[in-house]
Structure 1
Amino acid sequence: MKPKILAVLLLFIILPASNVAGAQETRGGSSLSGVVRDDAQSPLPGVQLILSPGGQRTMTDADGRFTFGALAPGQYRLESALLGYAPAVRSVRLPGTGRTMEVEITLATSPFALPGIAVAASVAAHNPAVVTQATTQLGGKALEREMSGTVAQTLASQPGIAVRYNGPAAAVPVIRGLTGDRILILQDGVRTADLAGSADDHAITIDPLAAQRIEVVRGPATLLYGNNALGGVVNVISNDIPSHIPSRIAGMAAAQTESAFPGGGGTLRLSAPLGERWALTLRAGGRSTGEVRIGDDPLLGNRLDNTQARSRDGALGLGYVGERVTGGGTAKAYDFAYGLPLPPGSDPVSLRGRRFEGSGRAEIDLRSGRFPTLRMDAATHDYVHDELDGEGDVQMAFALRTQTVNLLLRQGAIGPFTDGAWGASGLFKEYASTGPAALTPAADSRAFGVFAFQELAPWTAGPALQLGGRFDHYGVGSQSSPKFGPGTERAFRALSGSVGVRVPIMEGVAGSVNAARSFRAPTVEELFSGAPHAGTGSVEFGNPALEAERGQGVEGVLRVQNRRWNGQFAAYRNAISNYVYLAARGDTLIDGATLPVFAYAQQDAVLRGIEGSLEWAAREGLIVGFRGDLIRAAQRDGTPLSFMPPARIGGLLQWERGIVSVGGDMHHEFRQDRVGSAEELPTEPHTFLRLNAGVRVLRGGMVHSVSVRGENLGNSLHREATSRVKDFAPNPGRNLALVYRVFF
């Protein structure tokens, strides 16, 4: 069966499954119900709850109530989390079959922006405090304070995360020195399936205004996601498929503007109940900005020419919540146009394109203590973009059709293991590059993977051991063409896995160690490129003989979380065999223009680093903190890896009292002179001061939130060490940002 047909078939199966299962629902087993309240004993809606073993999930309703049904008698761990509150973990022993147990949970307010349940970091979805890898979450007020024009710029101040900058639109996260195809970008757990990872001039097709929160896994996540997650995962959660039934029509509207990016963006989200079992979501947004303002540059002036951008996005989702089945589907669209920064005197290059997505998922309660739930999801994507010259003529046209299929069977307690999961995945791509300046031949990719995960955690708050293994097959084949010659077929197979240990040290303090073996197959561009690339201003040559990258990483994490302190520290070593990099090969003259030549090469590499953040509640409403990171990356022969972020250190001060918050942070980036074989320029040290203020008020049954941020107030000229175009594209200058959100 063709993969596209398979994906579409699954989409049609997922939604009707809710009706079939709904008609066949039977009652039995024990049930667990309860209510979640705050310190003042007011009910809390929207609290995320996870019941393990089995990984069943639910959310409290408008009255703070929740229910887990059809449970086998026995011992369970109940985790609850809500942004702005300290998460709670509770041990529950359910009585015999047919009995109902009622519990009450109180979540204590916290002065820190504590994360909710981590979806991207774990097979079973847990409180991040019990995940063995380093993670980051942004949501609520913290997300509003950091909100920028792209997902990468929104995350840029987090430890271990930098930005690969190619103008304001083509900005991609750098996690621990790795970026591009080594970082997997998800929206609601589904691959975005654009071409942001394939070239520096390509953009991520997600507007951060659509995010309710953003999760980041810092480090290898191959076990769960296979290829493309060797460096980490970014999951933008917009909840376009409803996972609970709202009691009324509710929504959110947001608007944003920044002075360094003249213009702005906005979004509107609505959710509505359709009876007792169905819900509908609608989201629509857009963004339009002018050329980027920069600090005064002798050659460039005070703006970057040709960096205007616009985008539009929307989603329509339908969700079903039954006693045994939760599921739904969504259709999404995103279209865009933007220009790229260019050296003085060069012809302008711009991109325009669009992405369509249809996806569905279903989670079925199997009424089994051994295998409690089965989750399946499928998605189909259609992405295209054109690269145009200054006359508006198409020089390169890209098309990518992607289908994904995933199955996840969650496991309860079996023998010594208290929790686990078994999964399988399929990934199918049809890629084409056409036009007079086509960079690669057309190529198709097929990937299949199976994995298993087990956790041994006999005590609710005690030590835990997490084990996982995965097998992947990835095949890629180019098509014959007059320009690139005969087609080439490559196949890659790999075993990967991870072992993690989490140990509580004292109340509110825990340590973990994680070792992972990861895998990444070379991309079409790395294998088959062979032409000038106007978007990067260079000539690029692939290497069809490249081998798969294989990473062996070790990471230690220390977490602190109590009423006075909140922090996370990590040290890591990631050794990557057959690391693929761009090596400079001199210059060439094409149509009177001198262009640098780069060729993809391989050599073993090692990336080592430390990162951390710590916040202290010095007094009521006052938070004092610091954050920093350092990475050292080199090839086996000692040559530094190119485009690595510099060391950073900084501090923060945040005061909140009632509806008002005021704060700021200062960070210093050190000189980056560890330049590699790409013949890049070193970057100079600089210090940035950022200030923020916010107010959140309740008026007429609606919550209004306004956040203001000022950064680079000295309007200094700064260049991003991780950027391939830093010599002619400095970072934005003085910036005043305003974000307004209203919840109703």
Structure 2
Amino acid sequence: MCSQRFLCLPFALMLGSVYALADDGQSLPSVTATGKRQTSALPFGGKQKASDKIIAGEKFQSRPATLGDALAGETGVHSNPFGGGASAPVIRGQEGVRVKILQNGSDVVDMSALSPDHAVAADTLLAQKVELVRGTPTLLYAAASPAGVVNIADRRIPEQLPQGKAEGEAALRFDTAAREKALNGGVTLGLGKHFAVRAEGLLRRAENYRVPGIKLGETLHYLPDSHNRSRVGTLGVSWVGSKGYLGASYSVRRDQYGLPGHNHMLDATSMHIFSTAADPSRPQRMYLNVYPHLMDDSDLAYAHEHGGMGHEHNAKHSHDSPYGHNHDHSSGGPWVDMTAKRWDVRGEWHKPLAGIDKIKLTLAHAQYHHDELHDGKFYVSPGESAGIVERLAKEAARLKGTPESIFNSKGSNARIEVHHRPTNNWQGLFGAQYTALRGKAELTPRSGFPAGALASWRRRLLPDHTDRRFSLFGLEQFRYKNLTLEAGARWEKQSLPVHYDKQLLSLDAVVRDSANNKPHAAPDLRPRKENALSYSGTLLWDITPANRLSFTASHNERIPAPMELYYHGKHLATNSYEFGNSQLKKERSNNFELGWKHDSEKWDAKLSVYQNRFRNYIHGENIRKIGNIHTRRYIQSQARFNGIEGEVGYHFSPEHKITLFGDLVRGKLFGLPDVRGREMFRDTNPKSDDEDYDPYDDPDYPWCYDEEGLEQFCPPESLGVQTIARPNRNAPRVPPARLGLRWEKSFRDNWSASLEYTRVFAQNKVSDSYFIREKTSDEKESDEKEGISGRDLTTEPISEDKSRGYHLLNAGLAYKKRIGGADYRLSLDVYNLLNQKVYVHHSHLPYVPRPGRNVVFGVNVSF
């Protein structure tokens, strides 16, 4: 029957609502609501802040297809791109789990927050609108997204009947940079008086995109492994009545795209940051070999590499050596094969009771699978023998097209909202949400891995786990004359069990310590449980009909994500090793935003200034760098982000406008924890270089005495535990400042044109960290002369690379015409008209260039 109990109640309520919608004590009217309304993440509409943004779906038909790149032109929003197949939005310097991505007001159940190379399983090409929401309403969807919530709204579940028998849209486009061909469309059919059926789909094929030039041994004018293939199909059906609707949809998505810049020197290496016997006074913790995420700081043994392949001899990343290593581009590199399936049920019941405006119910279930596939290439050390080269070539050929790493997730989301309007000046909603997301990631076993009972050592990138979260939320809006107050809160409870292989752990537990014949330490396998409470308030003051001031203050709490807690090992796509930290605490932030919005006949303006103050800010710190291979571990500190964003537009006429826009964000990390090493000792017994010297013959030797008065050597003096302070620093990968000018003109009724120039400034405020390592024997020599032992750690600086600025010039021309019952739009857009070399500082691959000059031609039809 109902296998997941948390789905039963909402599903039963939705079934009951069908009867209520159909039988409310009177017959249904013959005419039901029609139109193109979609679910909105702004529940109250109307009163928007300066930083809220609603972007019509039409605009995305000529923008890049991936979400981050499609939104990168909006103020305060940048993109973290990964070749041509994936990109995620960076909003006000925040990304990943701090930026909530929604699909029709419900969670996008995928693994895109795990890594920038994971595509967001939602499409802007199929969107009817994309909403960027900030401030108090974000608490309806997430506990810690003050930077912003992104909602991608489409028509997969019709909320109203189509006008006439059918309505729909289709779009076709081509571009020159990637020779992209994209076709998408959808149609909604009305069946009888109450049923609507929706079908939509997307086909996209893009080759490696062109660049002004990249030196990979030779100068290329395309970026290897930046190709993309996408296929999406969706079918939805709704029952629409006089008091609401109830609908369901099913969607299948398939993406294949390249991973640019892969370093095959990474293939045969591994990295450790723990020791099973870091503290000799404790039993060995052998279970760390199987589940290394169980380590704590006492097990930390600082990063050390196994199977090194000479990364330290790689050149530094530069425009002359973008990858920093010899890159074989004679054939394609590794690629991602992603499949996502999603089921949705959604409904609204209007005016069910006095004082209740509507009840909204949402159910979603999604399955996600992501393989990173071997390209059949391999790395050979200089001077390697012909026999070994032949063996490596055969092994690589055998592995081509097989997964190197596998990511899986399966999740469900259930949500209920009750909207009320007691008076004309008071409206609000409250609700509950339950999400369960089970996921795991692992490297595929290869020859050379340990055999037998411990064959799974260090292969689990992310252990099999389930992230369960139950939330209660509410948002109220009060209006008094020209003042509007919004207040919201969200309480969230998490349970995060890891699904351990008990047999594998028991095999470790029976092993005895050969020195003391004691069992090895037993791990703590209890699930992590935690609560979080966030609250916010927004005051809007309509000073005049044309001017609105807004002030938002919030306290947000965020429970660490599984990736931050448990990920442990190689990250093929970013050429790095990443390590979670199971001791992370709840992240807290206090956030403030002041906004001004103006809208008059000649002028319009939006300006926002903000500050985010964090305690226990979670971020990945570079703890080692060998050549261009980074090792990162999640740590916490205090942080502060300040920023300003805005735009000012002047209307020469209703059809002619010029706009000045820009944004700036700065991030600082401070109060970082000290690095703790071993206890240090100073030898208090004098030494002599005379080999014949005997302290027993020296009447002045400073002896110590035991309880019986017998002479003995003095014990070493404890100098405490060695600590190394982490200095304050800039936050890593903070986007650079931007300033731009946009001209827009409509003429001759059907034509429109635009020209946009953006100056992206250099980013010189980069983050510095330290590589902590043990001293070499030569470095310990001076300590030995001082009689000091235990002062074994030293540091080497690791600096984030600076990024140069660039000029971005875009132009567009469009023609609209209505013929019969259909609207047609032809568009011609040119991006990066100056063919600039563009490198994105806040990308995880800042040395991978973005597309050069790109001409996009599109045809859109709607009826």
Quickly name the TM-score band, shorter chain normalised.
0.7 to 0.9
Give the counterpart letter for 1:713 in structure 2: L
* SS of residue in 2 equivalent to 1:229: coil
Q: Paired residue for 2:94? A: 178
Measured after TM superposition, the shift of residue 739 of structure 1 is 2.1
Using a 3 Å threshold, how does the CA distance of structure 1 residues 620 and 201 change in structure 2: closer, same or farther? closer
Q: Is the contact made by 2:39 and 2:105 (CA closer than 8 Å) also made in structure 1?
A: no
**Are positions 1:648 and 2:738 aligned together?**
yes
CA distance in 2, matches of 1:280, 1:18: 20
Q: Equivalent residue for 1:712?
A: 832
Does the 8 Å CA contact 1:132/1:501 hold for their aligned counterparts? no
2:244 is equivalent to residue 325 of structure 1: yes
Query: Which residue, out of 345, 349, 373, partners 2:326?
Result: 345
**1:349 Cα deviation (Å)?**
2.4
User: Could you tell me which residue of structure 1 aligns to residue 753 of structure 2?
Assistant: 662
Cα distance 1:9–1:505, how it changes in 2: closer, same or farther (>3 A)?
A: closer
The answer to whether the aligner puts 1:25 opposite 2:24 as a matched pair is yes
1:533 counterpart (556, 561, 571): 571
Q: From the superposition, tell whether residues 22 and 493 of structure 1 become closer, same or farther in structure 2 (CA, over 3 Å).
A: closer
Instruction: Check if 1:743 corresponds to 2:862.
Output: yes
Query: Displacement of 1:627 after TM fit?
Result: 0.7
For the structure 1 residues 5 and 302, does the alpha-carbon distance in structure 2 shift closer, same or farther, using more than 3 Å as the test? farther
Aligned letter for 2:227?
Q
Distance 2:38 2:413 in 1: 24
1:381-392 paired onto structure 2 within 5 Å: 381-390=366-375, 391-392=400-401
2:151 and 2:257 map into 1 onto residues whose CA distance is 24
2:429 to 421, 428, 446: 421
Following TM superposition, by how much is the alpha carbon of 1:219 offset from its aligned partner in structure 2, in angstroms?
5.4
Q: How does 1:375-414 map to 2 (within 5 A)?
A: 375-390=360-375, 391-413=400-422
Q: Which residue of 2 aligns with 1:84?
A: none
Work out whether residues 7 and 380 of structure 1, in 8 Å CA contact, stay in contact via their aligned partners in 2.
Answer: no
Please give the per-residue CA displacement for 1:113-148, whole angstroms capped at 9, x wherever unaligned: xxx99922x3x3312xx1347211211654445x22
User: For 1:422-446, what per-residue CA distance to the aligned partner results, in whole angstroms no more than 9, with x for missing partners?
Assistant: 1111111111223335422111111
Q: Which runs of 5+ in 1 are unaligned?
A: 34-57, 63-115
Q: Deviations over 1:366-401 (max 9, x none)?
A: 443422221111111111111112122212111111
Equivalent residue number for residue 308 of structure 2: none
**How much does 1:228 deviate?**
5.8
Q: Distance in 1 between matches of 2:808 and 2:759?
A: 6
Q: Within 2, Cα distance between the matches of 1:646 and 1:195?
A: 27
8 Å Cα contact 2:757-2:808 kept in structure 1: yes
Tell me the number of residue pairs that the alignment of Structure 1 and Structure 2 aligns.
650
Corresponding residue for residue 157 of structure 1: 73
Query: Aligned with 1:210: secondary structure?
Result: coil
Question: In 1, distance between residues paired with 2:227 and 2:460?
Answer: 24
Conserved? CA contact 1:150–1:208, under 8 Å: yes
Deviations 1:262-301 (A, max 9, x none): 2221112000111111111110111111112112123362
Q: Which residue of 2 aligns with 1:502?
A: 540
Given that 1:222 and 1:518 are in contact with CA atoms closer than 8 Å, whether structure 2 keeps it comes out as no
2:630 aligns with one of 588, 596, 611: 596
Corresponding position of 2:349: 364
Query: How many percent of aligned residue pairs carry the same amino acid?
Result: 25
What CA distance in whole angstroms lies between the structure 1 residues aligned with 2:138 and 2:176? 39
Change (3 A) 1:487 1:308: farther
How much has 1:493 moved relative to structure 2? 0.9
TM-score normalized by the length of structure 1: 0.83
**Residue aligning to 2:763:** 672
| Residues 811 and 831, structure 2, Cα contact 8 Å, conserved in 1 | yes
Question: Compared with structure 1, are the counterparts of its residues 271 and 187 closer, same or farther at alpha carbon in structure 2 (3 Å cutoff)?
Answer: same
CA distance in structure 2 between the partners assigned to 1:380 and 1:276 by the alignment: 29
CA contact (8 A) 1:226 1:519 kept: no
Tell me the distance in 2 between the aligned counterparts of 1:318 and 1:12.
19
Q: Distance in 1 between matches of 2:258 and 2:201?
A: 23
Compared with structure 1, are the counterparts of its residues 680 and 578 closer, same or farther at alpha carbon in structure 2 (3 Å cutoff)?
same
Q: What does the per-residue CA deviation read over 1:600-642, in whole Å, with 9 as the maximum and x for residues that have no partner?
A: 1111111110000122211241111111001011112541111
1:189-338 alignment to 2 at 5 Å? 189-218=105-134, 222-227=138-143, 229-246=145-162, 247-299=164-216, 301-338=220-257
Match of 1:730 in 2: 849
Rounded Cα–Cα distance in structure 2 between residues aligned with 1:479 and 1:406: 26
Distance in 1 between residues matched to 2:58 and 2:407, nearest whole Å: 38
Output the amino acid matched with 1:232.
G
Q: Indicate how the Cα distance of structure 1 residues 171 and 340 shifts in structure 2: closer, same or farther if over 3 A, else same.
A: same
| Equivalence for 1:446 | 468
1:361–1:377 contact (8 Å) kept in structure 2: yes
Shift of 1:3: 7.7
Which residue of 2 is the match for residue 67 of structure 1?
none
Identify which range, 544-553 or 416-425, moves more after superposition: 416-425
User: Residues of 1 paired with 2:500 and 2:662: CA distance?
Assistant: 49
Larger strand proportion of the pair: 1
Partner SS for 1:412: strand
TM-aligned CA distance change 1:220 to 1:504, over 3 Å: closer
Partner of 2:646: 612
* 1:549 corresponds to: 587
Measure, in 1, the Cα distance between the counterparts of 2:574 and 2:499.
25
- Match of 1:134, SS state, is coil
2:486 to 456, 466, 469: 466
1:13 positional shift? 5.8
Decide which structure has the larger Cα Rg and report it: 2
Secondary structure at the aligned position of 2:860 is classed as strand
Q: In structure 1, what is the Cα distance between the partners aligned to 2:656 and 2:628?
A: 56
Cα 1:649–1:219 shift into 2, 3 Å: farther
2:818 corresponds to which letter in structure 1? L
> Contact (CA 8 Å) 1:18, 1:325: kept in 2 or not?
no
Instruction: Determine if contact 1:542/1:599 at 8 Å carries over to the other structure.
Output: yes
Distance 1:647 1:512 in 2: 24
Aligned residue number for residue 48 of structure 1: none
Q: Aligned pair 1:683/2:803, yes or no?
A: yes
- Secondary structure at the counterpart of residue 411 of structure 2: strand
Q: CA deviation at 1:510?
A: 0.7
Contact 1:118/1:215, CA 8 A, preserved across alignment: no
Residue 520 of structure 1 and its aligned partner are, at CA, apart by: 2.1
**Larger displacement relative to structure 2 (466-475 or 344-353):** 344-353
2:40 corresponds to 1:119: yes
1:223/1:682 CA distance change after superposition, 3 Å: same
Give deviations 1:25-64, integer Å, cap 9, x for gaps.
Answer: 1369xx9x9xxxxxxxxxxxxxxxxxxxxxxxx97659xx
CA offsets, 1:323-349, max 9 Å, x none?
Answer: 223221111111111111113535732
Question: What corresponds to 2:821 in structure 1?
Answer: 701
Alignment check: 8 A CA contact 1:583 1:677 kept: no
Q: Contact 1:118–1:126 (CA<8 Å) still a contact in 2?
A: no
Q: Is the 8 A contact 1:11 1:329 kept in 2?
A: no
Give the root-mean-square deviation of aligned CA atoms: 2.6
Gaps of 5+ in 2: 262-322, 376-399, 446-458, 509-522, 672-727, 770-798
Work out the CA distance in 1 between the residues paired with 2:619 and 2:334. 25
1:456 lines up with 2:373 in the alignment: no
